[in-house]
Structure 1
Amino acid sequence: MATKKPLILVTNDDGVTAPGIRHLIKLMKELGDVIVVAPDSPQSGMGHAITINDNLYCDPITLKKTEKHKEYSCSGTPADCVKIAKQEILHRKPDLCVSGINHGSNSSINVIYSGTMSAAVEAGTEGIPAIGFSLLDYSLTADFEPTSKFVKTITKNVLKNGLPAGVVLNVNIPKLPEKEIKGIKVCRQAKAHWVEKFDKRTNPQGRDYYWLTGEFVNEDQGEDTDEWALKEGYISVVPVQFDLTAHHAIKELNTWNLHD
């Protein structure tokens, strides 16, 4: 009897035509049946935003007539894409959701701003095992081929073993040739922050506007972090939980006088 192929939902935040998602689709088709629901335009930095004050459109598209899998272009955010895929497009819960491959890093503190990871987290809240993949190369001409073996290895393991309840994976891949990638490290998120400033300018009509700029500062010298692994030539895999409760703080807060 033929083994039933896993159903894999593919999405991203760079838009449905971005090279990163096109490469991820190609890899996932080797592992299962693929459905693509992705934004119709770039949605980087959208975090876990959802569309509530505007119409949401999700249209079938065909980028190549030779492609047999189904694809949909959505006017919303990455989180919207996962929601509408589950509620309106898929006929059963997918076995896996993969998001990416993002053009640029989503390591450390960047995870909270990431549309790529928010799509994975949204899937996780629905009980769908999920992975966000990112390559540390922001260029639209980035070479995603060196990621292939590692993306498939991680994906196969999730399909085989599942993930702990309430956990999704944040995978970041250094910009290196395949032969120079040393391997895969399971890590913690490095403690880091952005030193931000706004570049203030004035448009021809005399109105001020701003461009956000900044410098990434890694405060964490631990050798078990994602930033360390990436700097040393490893792929970082960080298990991310979407329960944001600071459990360690509950005991201390219960010592406060909160009854006055």
Structure 2
Amino acid sequence: MSKRPLILVINDDGITAPGIRTLVEVMNTIGDVVVVAPDSPQSGMGHAITINSTLFVEKVKLDQGPQVEYSCSGTPADCVKLAVKQILGRRPDLCVSGINHGSNSSINVIYSGTMSAAIEAGIEGIPAIGFSLLDYNWNADFSATKPYVKTIAENVLKEGLPNGVVLNVNLPNLPKKDIKGIKVCRQARANWEEEFDKRKNPQGRDYFWLTGKFVNLDKGEDTDEWALENGYVSVVPVQFDLTAHHCIQNLNTWNFHD
């Protein structure tokens, strides 16, 4: 009998979030699951790590199932580091992060704690996927995501991923019958047009709320934004080598010697 794969499950919304509970449920049908997730929401933390304070890990059991679970006081990237270096007895065969409550398409990948956990796993040489549903509601319905999460995870386990690449998967907020399928895409060129809402607290001190709107500047039909707007699950291969290789030749023509 073949050995079941070891699957590490992480998120950024916190270990009690419905999204990660759904992800755990699906992964239990594929392999042996260990959860190491933040004890409180860590959305928008990006790839932050804890270096100036202590980290705490507590073994917990939040629902039925064979999974082993740990709650961590740190960031999503901390959770991966602790899992690999302290908790797991061997390197996992797969790391899955999410299912995030809200989009991580396009430029959102830069800010995402969900994707940073997947990227940290990729840095460790572990095949990794970040999953996100386009619904920020805490009580979002994740049922339609299950077959897509399962088939993408099974394909990564079977086929592997190139070194330095992880998958960014976003799922449209649609009933299962209305999801058209899966599209492999590129990241759309889009950004947030941000503003700060300035207010005063009762003591007269200024404070600010970050606000803004998301603007898609990309009209291509091969992007994650197009796929999601048209009822598809988007799969974007993401590399964490940030070198702009196409720019090196031009920079070598500059005069750095005067």
User: What TM-score results when the alignment is normalised by the length of structure 2?
Assistant: 0.99
Secondary structure, counterpart of 2:84 in structure 1: helix
Q: Can you list the C-alpha shifts for 1:54-74, whole angstroms capped at 9, x where unaligned? A: 11111111113x433210000
Q: In the alignment, residue 13 of structure 1 is paired with which amino acid?
A: D
Q: How far, CA to CA, are the matches of 1:99 and 1:227 in structure 2?
A: 20
Residue 206 (structure 1) aligned with residue 204 (structure 2): yes
Matches within 5 A, 1:1-260: 2-64=1-63, 66-260=64-258
Q: Residue 191 of structure 1: CA displacement?
A: 0.2
Q: Which runs of 5+ in 2 are unaligned?
A: none
Secondary structure, counterpart of 1:215 in structure 2: strand
Q: How far, CA to CA, are the matches of 1:177 and 1:135 in structure 2?
A: 12
Q: How far, CA to CA, are the matches of 1:69 and 1:158 in structure 2?
A: 20
Secondary structure, counterpart of 1:245 in structure 2: coil
RMSD: 0.6
Q: Can you list the C-alpha shifts for 1:225-257, whole angstroms capped at 9, x where unaligned? A: 000000000000000000000000000000000
Q: Residue 137 of structure 1: CA displacement?
A: 0.3
Q: Can you list the C-alpha shifts for 1:99-120, whole angstroms capped at 9, x where unaligned? A: 0000000000000000000000
Cα contact 2:28–2:65 (8 A) shared by 1: no
Secondary structure, counterpart of 2:226 in structure 1: helix
Q: How far, CA to CA, are the matches of 1:63 and 1:225 in structure 2?
A: 37
Cα contact 2:35–2:70 (8 A) shared by 1: yes
User: What TM-score results when the alignment is normalised by the length of structure 1?
Assistant: 0.98
Q: Can you list the C-alpha shifts for 1:187-208, whole angstroms capped at 9, x where unaligned? A: 0000001110001111111111
Q: In the alignment, residue 188 of structure 1 is paired with which amino acid?
A: R
Secondary structure, counterpart of 1:46 in structure 2: coil
Q: How far, CA to CA, are the matches of 2:108 and 2:189 in structure 1?
A: 11
Q: Residue 85 of structure 1: CA displacement?
A: 0.4
Q: How far, CA to CA, are the matches of 1:67 and 1:215 in structure 2?
A: 40
Secondary structure, counterpart of 2:138 in structure 1: coil
Q: How far, CA to CA, are the matches of 2:223 and 2:111 in structure 1?
A: 19
Secondary structure, counterpart of 2:107 in structure 1: helix
Secondary structure, counterpart of 1:111 in structure 2: helix
Q: How far, CA to CA, are the matches of 1:72 and 1:210 in structure 2?
A: 35
Q: How far, CA to CA, are the matches of 2:211 and 2:66 in structure 1?
A: 42
Question: How many residues are treated as equivalent by the alignment?
Answer: 258
Q: How far, CA to CA, are the matches of 1:58 and 1:247 in structure 2?
A: 40
Q: In the alignment, residue 63 of structure 1 is paired with which amino acid?
A: L
Q: Which runs of 5+ in 1 are unaligned?
A: none
Cα contact 2:56–2:73 (8 A) shared by 1: yes
